[in-house]
């Protein structure tokens, strides 16, 4: 199982899991990959991990074995309830709003719905819902592209 950071033509970053690099190439060239935000089929591997901020690239993206950081400051717990920087949270809130607007919510039935569309039993449509990491892996192993996005509380509460 390979995890790729993907990016669509409009610059939306998201994650995909594939059985192998050949499977990614096959799905990409067949137009089977689509952006969870704008449904663009022009999806390619991101050069680096999606960086929602501006400026510095993500230097650890290609590190195969990130070392634990015992000296990392543990400050999140003592400050704001969310460790996300405001601009990251705002971007994720926009992402959530886009997904909720464009996609049908299938709740915990995401894996079933994705398989049903993949098998041609139901018409393809953008969906979102909950899936466990195991379900996401199983879908990817069956050649079904899935994307996981960080889900944050709505901007309007």
**Which of residues 99 and 114 has its CB atom nearest to Zn ion in the complex?**
99
For 11, left (φ over 0), alpha (ψ -120 to 50), or beta?
left
Using CB under 5 A as the binding criterion, the count of chain residues that bind Zn ion stands at 7
CB of 150 to Zn ion, least distance (A): 16
Sign of the C-alpha dihedral computed for residues 125, 110, 28 and 61 taken in this order:
positive
CB of 58 to Zn ion, least distance (A): 19
Q: Which H/E stretch holds residue 42? A: none
CB of 126 to Zn ion, least distance (A): 11
Q: Which of 5, 19, 32, 40 binds Zn ion (CB under 5 A)?
A: 40
Sorted by sequence, the CB contacts under 8 Å of residue 123 that are 6+ apart come out as 117
Interface with Zn ion includes 1 (CB under 5 A)? no
CB of 94 to Zn ion, least distance (A): 12
User: What's the token pair of residue 99?
Assistant: 């997904």
Interface with Zn ion includes 7 (CB under 5 A)? no
Region 89-148 residues binding Zn ion, contact defined as CB under 5 A: none
Rounded Cα distance, 11 and 13, in Å: 6
Rounded Cα distance, 118 and 120, in Å: 5
Q: Which of 38, 48, 58, 103 binds Zn ion (CB under 5 A)?
A: 38
What phi and psi values does residue 4 have, to the nearest 5 degrees? Answer: -120, 140
Interface with Zn ion includes 43 (CB under 5 A)? no
**Which of residues 106 and 149 has its CB atom nearest to Zn ion in the complex?**
149
Q: Could you list the residues that contact Zn ion (CB under 5 A)?
A: 8, 10, 12, 35, 37-38, 40
């Amino acid at each position: 199982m390979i995890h790729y950071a993907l990016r669509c033509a409009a610059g939306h970053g998201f994650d995909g899991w594939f059985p192998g690099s050949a499977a990614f190439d096959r799905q990409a060239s067949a137009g089977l990959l689509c952006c969870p935000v704008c449904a663009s089929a022009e999806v390619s591997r991101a050069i680096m991990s999606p960086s929602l901020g501006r400026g510095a690239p993500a230097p650890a993206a290609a590190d195969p074995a990130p070392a634990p950081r015992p000296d990392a400051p543990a400050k999140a717990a003592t400050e704001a309830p969310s460790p996300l920087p405001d601009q990251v949270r705002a971007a994720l809130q926009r992402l959530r709003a886009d997904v909720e607007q464009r996609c049908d919510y299938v709740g915990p039935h995401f894996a079933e719905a994705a398989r049903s569309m993949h098998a041609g039993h139901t018409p393809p449509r953008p969906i979102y819902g909950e899936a466990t990491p195991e379900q996401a892996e199983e879908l990817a192993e069956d050649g079904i592209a899935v994307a996981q996005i960080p889900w944050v509380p709505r901007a309007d509460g």
